C-alpha cells in the first residue's frame, strides 16, 4: 500500500475494486465501514459480484469481468472532459500526461457502458465523486491483478490517482491489499527471480558484486531466473529437473491443475517443506516438516509495509524444525555454511544488505512495528509513500488500452467463472480446514449462482452441480444467492475435492506473469 | 468558550480542555473511577451508572463517562453516598441472572467480579433471579450465557461501531431485556461473522471463547504477542498458551496499529491447525508407492546430494525454488540466499502472483 491502513478512515471518498474486503481483509473492511458510518465517507464499489461492501456503498458499479481498464479509462475520460483534473499536481509532479488525453478520447461513458455493462450515469457519478474529493483512496486486490491484463489494470488505477493528485497525502493513495500474511515480505526479501532483497536487481553488476561480497561467495548468477509459471512450464519441458517448494501448495492454488500435476510429475526430484502433507507434498520425493508461526521467531511485513514480529509461543511440535533452521542446515550441506544463532541475527544481516530495511531491527520493531522504507537506525519509517515527490522523481502516466480477456463466454460455455476466497477459509485450506469452528461455518465447496441462472439451469439450492470448462470439470454444491449476478458464477479455491483451478486459465499477464485466474468461461449442469 | 477549564476532583485542581468528560479528566491525573459499560473504543452511554460521582450543586449523582467538565466544577469520586450507590448497582447486577464465578471462564478477568470485590460486597443482598434465557451453544466458537449478561451493551456497540457488522441489538423489554441478533436467532443462524469483537469487550462471562472453556483460567495463561498468520492485514494478537498448547487467541486495543484489538474469525478462532494430529512429525522419503519416515540427517543428506547431482549434470538453472508468502521474512531471505549462493540460480519465486 502507498498509505497506512489507519489512513482509510481519513478519506472522504473510498473506491474499492476487485477486493471482497469483508471476507478477505475483514479488519480493513471494518475501517472502510467505520469511515462510511461514522465519518460519512462516500464509498464506491466496483465489482462484478454483489459483495458485502456494496451494502455500505453510495454507488455499486458492476463491470463485466475483465473489463477494468475500460471503466477506469472512462472515469478519467469524464474527469478530463469536465476539467476536474488536478492541474497543478499534474504540472509539478508528473510527466507523460500529454499522451493520456488522446487515448482516453475513445472511452466515453456511453461507449464504455456497452463494453462493461456499467451504466454511463454511474461512471459519470463516480468520476465526479472521486475527482472532487479532497482526499480519496483507491483500494484493490486480486480481482484487479489476477487477470491477463493485471499490470494494465494497476497502471490505469495509478493514472487515475495521479490525474486527481490523490497521492502522497494521508487518506489517499493507490493501495493493493495483499492476500497472504507475508506476500509483501516475501517480495521485499527477494523471493523473486530478478531481484535481491529490497528490489535490488540481480542484473546490476555493482549490486551483484556487493551481495557476493556480503555473502562471502565468489560470484552470483546474473541472468534473472524463471517466474512461478515459467518454472512450472520448465518442469514440464525438462528445463527444470529439481524443485524445492517451501510452504506453498501449487497443486491447489495454481491455475489449470491437470497441467500443474503433469509438470510436477516430470521432475526428477521434488522437495516440499510444509507443516502438513499437502496435495503438493504428496508428489514429493522428500518432505521436510517445518514449524508453524506459533513455534518460531521472525517477522512478517503486512500490506502497509509494516514489519512486525512473530514470536515463538510454544516449542516446535515434536519432530518439526523451524523453517529457517532447515534452510541453514541444507545450505551448510551444500557448501555455503549458514550458522545464524537466531532469526534476529538474520534480520541484522537483512538490514545490512537491504537499503529499505536498513534501519529495521527487532529492537526497533518492538511492539508497534515499523513501515519501510526505513533507511537508517534513526529513520522513523514511512507511513505513506510519495510524500512531496514520487520515489522515482516524477510520477509517470502510463496510458493503457483495453484488451478483452482471453476467454469470454460463448454458446458452449455460456457463463463467466470467477474464483476467490470465502471468509472462513484461507488460501488452500491447509490450516483453516483443520479448524473446527471454521469448518462448521464453511464445510464444503459451494458455487454461488444467481437465482436467474439457477432458474435457467433448473437448479435448486443445495443441488450438486457440475461445472465444466475447456480444461476440466468439478462438482460442487449449488448456493443460490443474490450475491451472484446473472451470467456469472463464483467458486472458492480452498477445496481440494472440488479444485476450481482445474477449470481456470493459465494464460499470464505479459509483464507481471500473473495468471488470469479470475475469469474464464464455463458451463453449468445439475450433477447426477 | 474558554480555551481551558478548571475544576477540582477530590479537592485536586485540574485544568483541561472543554469537551473532556469527568472520567477522562480524573484519569489524566491518576484518579480511578470504576466503570462497567464504558470502553475506550466505544461510544459512552452512561447506562450502567457505576461511574457515578457527586458534583457539588447537582441534586443527583452524575455518570462521569458522559458528563463533560465545566468551569469551577467540584467533583467527588468516592464518598459514602457514591459508594453506597455503586454497591446497590452492583448488588442488583449480581442478583440479575446467575453469576456462578466458581468455574466461570472469566473468573479472575471479570469486571463485575472485580467491582464486587473492590466494593467489599461479601454476600448477595437480593435473591438471584435467572433470566430464564437458555445458553446459546449453537456454534463451535462463541458461547453466550444470558444468565451472566448485565446488559451493559458493550457487545452491541462493538458489533455496531467497531466492526460495523450490525448484528446485535437490544431485544424485548424491561425485565425480559436481552441482547439479540435479528429475530433473536442463535449466532450460528444469524448474520454474525464470528469476528469475536463482542467477546473481546464483554466485561463478564456472558460471552466467551467456547473452545477455551476449561482449558485454563486467565492467570494460568501465558500471552505471547505475535502477528496473525492469515491475511496481509497483519493483525497483532496474543497467543494464550498453557502447558505448551495454544488454547486461545485474544488481542488488545492497546496493541495499536494495524488492528487496535480487532480481529476476524480466522485470526481469532483459526488456531486448531497448530496442534492438529495431521501435522507432519518426521521427514518423509519416497518409498515405493508411498513414503517412509526418515531421520533429519538422512533426509537433508539426500536432498543435498540429489541437488548437487542434478546441478552437476544439468547446470544450476535446472533447479528452482518456490519460497513462501506464509513464512517469515528471515526464512524468505535465507531461501533466496540459499538458491542464489548454494545452488547458483535465480530461479526463485513464490505465490505473490496468485
Ligand atoms: S462475533 Fe462479531 S459479528 Fe458476531 S455478534 Fe460478535 S461482534 Fe457481531
Ligand atoms: S453480553 Fe456481555 S457485553 Fe453484551 S451486554 Fe451482556 S455483559 Fe455486556
Ligand atoms: S485477524 Fe483476520 S483480518 Fe486480521 S490479519 Fe488475521 S486474517 Fe487478516
CA distance B189 to B252: 28
3-state secondary structure B55-95: ECCCCCCEECCCCECCCCCEEECCCHHHHHHHHHHHHHHHH
CATH tag, B97-214: 3.30.70.20
Q: What is the pLDDT of residue A405?
A: 82
Atom of ligand 1 at shortest distance to CA of B196?
Answer: 1
Task: Determine the Cα–Cα distance for residues A403 and A155; give it in Å rounded to an integer.
Answer: 14
Query: Distance between CA atoms of A426 and B277, rounded to whole angstroms?
Result: 20
What's the first-to-final CA gap in chain A, in angstroms? 47
> Which H/E stretch holds residue B286?
strand B284-287
| Count of residues making up chain A | 528
Question: Nearest ligand, CA of residue B153?
Answer: 2
Residues at CB less than 6 angstroms from ligand 1: B 158-159, 163, 165, 167-168, 192-198
Whether chain A has a CB inside 8 Å of the CB on B109: the answer is no
Residue carrying the nine cell digits 475513445: A106
Report pTM: 0.92
Closest residue CA from atom 6 of ligand 1: B198
Looking at residue A516, its pLDDT comes to 66
DSSP for residue B191: S
End-to-end C-alpha distance for chain B, whole angstroms? 57
Select the CATH number that applies to the domain covering A5-177 from these four: 3.30.420.10, 3.40.228.10, 1.20.1730.10, 3.30.2130.10.
Answer: 3.40.228.10
Could you tell me the three cell numbers for A258? 491437470
Domain A183-371 has CATH 3.40.50.740: yes
Q: Which CATH class is domain B217-279?
A: mainly beta
* Domain residue extents for chain A: 5-177, 183-371, 415-526
B281 and A CB contact within 8 Å: yes
Whose CA is closest to A507, among A466, A471, A467, A475? A471
Supply the ipTM of this predicted assembly.
Answer: 0.91
Write the Ramachandran bin of A513: left for phi over 0, alpha for psi from -120 to 50, otherwise beta. left
Q: With contact defined as beta carbons under 8 Å apart, do A22 and B155 qualify? A: no
Q: In what order do the strands lie in the sheet with A174-176?
A: A59-61, A42-46, A13-17, A136-140, A174-176
CATH 3.40.190.10 fits B5-78, yes or no: no
Sheet holding A286-289, edge to edge: B290-293, B284-287, A286-289, A269-274, A242-246, B319-322, B348-349
Please, what sign has the CA dihedral across residues B205, B211, B217, B219?
Answer: negative
The residue contributing the CA closest to ligand 2 atom 3 is: B202
Mark yes or no for CB contact B346/A202 under 8 Å: yes
In this predicted structure, what is the pLDDT of residue A217? 92
A183-371 and A415-526 share one fold = no
Residues 6+ apart with CB under 8 A from B85: B49, B52, B61
Regions of chain B where pLDDT drops below 70: 1-2, 352-354
Determine contact, residues B133/B147, Cβ cutoff 8 Å.
yes
- What is the Cα–Cα distance from A486 to A321, expressed in whole angstroms? 49
- CB distance A331 to B343 below 8 Å: no
Give the whole-angstrom CA distance, residue B311 versus residue B139: 53
Q: Beta strand pairing status for B74-76 and B52-55? A: antiparallel
Give whole-number Cα distances, A210 to A187, A202, A225, A353, in Å: 20, 11, 19, 9
Q: Which of B162, B192, B229, B325 to substitute to test the interface with A, most A CBs within 10 Å?
A: B325
Q: Which residue in the block uniquely carries the three cell numbers 489507519? A: A6
In chain A, which residues have their Cβ closer than 8 Å to the Cβ of B229? 181, 292-293, 300, 431
Q: Where are the domains of chain B?
A: 5-78, 97-214, 217-279, 284-351
Coil, strand or helix at B340: helix
Task: Indicate the CATH number of A415-526 among 2.40.160.40, 2.40.40.20, 3.60.20.30, 3.40.50.2300.
Answer: 2.40.40.20
Ligand nearest to the CA of B48: 2
- Count CB-CB contacts under 10 A for residue A264: 21
Residue ranges of chain A with per-residue pLDDT less than 70 = 147, 391-392, 507-517
User: Exposed (0-12), middle (13-18) or buried (19+): which is B321, by Cβ within 10 Å?
Assistant: buried
Ligand 2 closest atom vs CA B168: 4
Min distance B169 CA to chain A CA atoms (Å) = 17
Residues A185, A200 contacting (CB under 8 angstroms): no
The predicted pLDDT at position A512 comes to: 64
Amino acid at each position: 500500500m502507498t498509505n497506512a491502513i489507519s489512513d482509510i478512515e481519513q478519506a472522504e471518498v473510498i473506491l474499492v475494486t476487485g477486493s471482497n474486503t469483508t471476507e478477505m481483509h475483514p479488519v480493513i473492511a471494518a475501517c472502510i465501514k467505520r469511515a462510511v458510518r461514522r465519518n460519512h465517507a462516500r464509498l464506491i464499489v466496483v465489482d462484478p459480484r454483489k459483495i458485502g461492501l456494496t451494502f455500505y456503498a453510495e454507488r455499486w458499479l458492476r463491470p463485466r469481468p475483465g473489463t477494468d481498464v475500460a471503466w477506469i479509462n472512462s472515469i478519467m475520460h469524464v474527469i478530463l472532459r469536465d476539467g476536474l483534473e488536478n492541474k497543478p499536481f499534474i504540472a509539478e509532479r508528473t510527466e507523460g500526461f500529454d499522451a493520456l488525453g488522446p487515448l482516453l478520447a475513445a472511452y466515453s461513458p456511453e461507449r464504455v457502458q456497452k463494453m462493461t455493462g456499467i451504466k454511463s450515469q454511474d461512471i459519470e457519478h463516480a468520476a465526479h465523486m472521486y475527482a472532487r474529493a479532497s482526499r480519496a483512496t483507491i483500494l484493490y486486490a486480486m480481482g484487479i491483478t489476477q487477470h491477463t491484463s493485471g499490470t494494465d489494470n494497476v497502471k490505469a488505477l495509478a493514472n487515475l490517482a495521479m490525474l486527481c493528485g490523490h497521492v502522497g497525502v494521508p487518506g489517499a493513495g493507490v493501495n493493493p491489499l495483499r492476500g497472504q500474511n507475508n506476500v509483501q515480505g516475501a517480495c521485499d526479501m527477494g523471493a523473486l527471480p530478478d531481484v535481491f532483497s529490497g528490489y535490488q536487481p540481480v542484473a546490476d553488476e555493482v549490486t551483484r558484486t556487493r551481495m557476493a561480497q556480503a555473502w562471502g561467495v565468489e560470484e552470483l548468477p546474473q541472468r534473472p531466473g524463471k517466474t512461478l509459471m515459467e518454472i512450472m512450464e520448465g518442469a514440464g519441458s525438462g528445463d527444470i529437473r529439481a524443485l524445492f517448494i517451501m510452504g506453498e501448495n501449487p497443486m491447489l492454488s495454481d491455475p489449470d491443475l491437470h497441467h500443474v500435476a503433469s509438470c510436477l510429475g516430470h521432475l526428477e526430484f521434488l522437495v516440499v517443506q510444509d507443516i502438513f502433507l499437502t496435495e503438493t507434498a504428496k508428489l514429493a520425493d522428500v518432505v521436510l516438516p517445518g514449524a508453524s508461526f506459533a513455534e518460531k521467531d521472525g517477522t512478517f511485513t503486512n500490506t502497509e509495509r509494516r514489519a512486525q514480529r512473530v514470536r515463538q509461543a510454544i516449542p516446535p511440535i515434536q519432530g518439526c524444525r523451524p523453517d529457517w533452521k532447515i534452510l541453514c542446515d541444507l545450505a551448510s550441506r551444500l557448501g555455503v555454511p549458514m550458522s545464524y544463532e537466531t532469526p534476529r541475527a538474520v534480520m541484522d544481516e537483512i538490514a545490512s544488505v537491504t537499503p529499505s530495511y536498513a534501519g529495521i531491527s527487532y529492537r526497533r520493531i518492538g511492539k508497534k512495528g515499523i513501515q519501510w522504507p526505513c533507511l537508517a537506525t534513526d529513520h522513523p519509517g514511512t507511513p505513506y509513500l510519495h510524500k512531496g515527490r514520487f520515489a522515482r522523481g516524477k510520477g509517470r502516466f502510463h496510458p493503457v488500452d483495453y484488451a478483452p480477456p482471453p476467454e469470454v463466454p460463448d454458446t458452449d460455455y455460456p457463463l463467466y467463472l470467477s474464483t476467490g476466497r470465502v471468509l472462513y477459509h484461507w488460501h488452500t485450506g491447509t490450516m483453516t480446514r483443520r479448524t473446527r469452528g471454521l469448518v462448521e461455518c464453511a464445510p464444503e465447496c459451494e458455487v454461488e449462482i444467481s437465482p436467474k441462472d439457477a432458474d435457467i439451469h433448473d437448479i435448486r439450492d443445495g443441488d450438486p452441480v457440475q461445472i465444466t470448462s475447456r480444461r476440466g470439470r468439478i462438482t460442487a454444491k449449488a448456493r443460490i444467492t443474490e450475491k451472484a449476478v446473472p451470467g456469472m458464477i463464483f467458486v472458492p479455491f480452498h477445496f481440494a475435492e472440488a479444485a476450481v483451478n482445474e477449470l481456470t486459465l493459465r494464460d499470464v499477464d505479459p509483464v507481471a506473469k500473473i495468471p488470469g485466474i479470475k475469469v474464464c468461461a464455463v458451463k453449468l449442469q445439475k450433477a447426477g | 468558550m474558554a480555551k481551558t477549564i478548571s475544576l477540582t476532583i477530590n479537592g485536586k485542581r485540574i485544568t483541561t480542555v472543554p469537551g473532556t468528560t469527568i472520567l477522562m479528566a480524573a484519569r489524566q491525573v491518576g484518579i480511578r473511577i470504576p466503570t462497567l459499560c464504558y470502553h475506550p473504543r466505544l461510544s459512552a452511554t452512561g447506562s450502567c451508572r457505576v461511574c457515578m460521582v457527586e458534583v457539588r450543586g447537582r441534586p443527583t449523582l452524575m455518570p462521569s463517562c458522559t458528563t463533560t467538565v465545566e468551569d469551577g466544577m467540584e467533583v467527588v469520586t468516592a464518598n459514602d453516598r457514591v459508594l453506597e450507590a455503586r454497591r446497590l448497582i452492583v448488588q442488583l447486577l449480581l442478583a440479575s441472572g446467575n453469576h456462578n464465578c466458581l468455574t466461570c471462564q472469566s473468573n479472575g478477568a471479570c469486571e463485575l467480579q472485580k467491582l464486587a470485590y473492590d466494593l467489599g460486597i461479601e454476600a448477595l443482598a437480593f435473591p438471584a433471579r435467572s433470566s430464564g434465557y437458555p445458553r446459546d451453544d449453537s456454534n463451535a466458537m462463541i458461547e453466550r450465557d444470558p444468565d451472566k449478561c448485565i446488559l451493559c451493551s458493550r457487545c452491541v456497540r462493538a458489533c455496531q461501531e467497531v466492526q460495523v457488522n450490525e448484528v446485535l441489538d437490544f431485544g424485548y423489554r424491561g425485565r425480559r431485556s436481552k441482547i439479540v441478533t435479528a429475530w433473536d436467532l442463535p449466532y450460528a443462524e444469524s448474520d454474525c461473522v464470528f469476528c469475536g469483537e463482542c467477546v473481546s469487550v464483554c466485561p463478564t462471562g456472558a460471552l466467551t471463547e467456547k473452545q477455551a472453556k476449561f482449558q485454563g483460567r486467565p492467570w494460568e495463561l501465558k500471552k505471547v504477542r505475535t502477528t496473525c498468520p492469515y491475511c496481509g492485514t497483519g493483525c497483532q494478537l496474543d497467543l494464550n498458551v498453557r502447558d505448551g498448547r495454544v488454547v486461545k487467541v485474544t488481542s488488545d486495543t492497546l496493541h495499536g496499529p494495524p488492528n487496535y484489538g480487532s480481529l476476524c474469525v480466522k485470526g481469532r478462532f483459526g488456531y486448531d491447525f497448530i496442534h492438529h494430529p495431521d501435522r507432519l512429525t518426521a521427514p518423509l522419503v519416497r518409498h515405493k508407492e508411498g513414503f517412509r519416515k526418515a531421520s533429519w540427517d538422512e533426509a537433508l543428506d539426500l536432498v543435498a546430494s540429489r541437488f548437487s547431482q542434478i546441478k552437476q549434470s544439468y547446470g544450476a538453472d535446472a533447479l528452482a525454488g518456490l519460497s513462501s508468502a506464509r513464512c517469515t521474512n528471515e526464512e524468505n531471505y535465507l531461501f533466496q540466499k540459499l538458491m542464489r549462493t548454494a545452488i547458483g540460480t535465480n530461479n526463485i519465486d513464490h505465490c505473490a502472483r496468485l
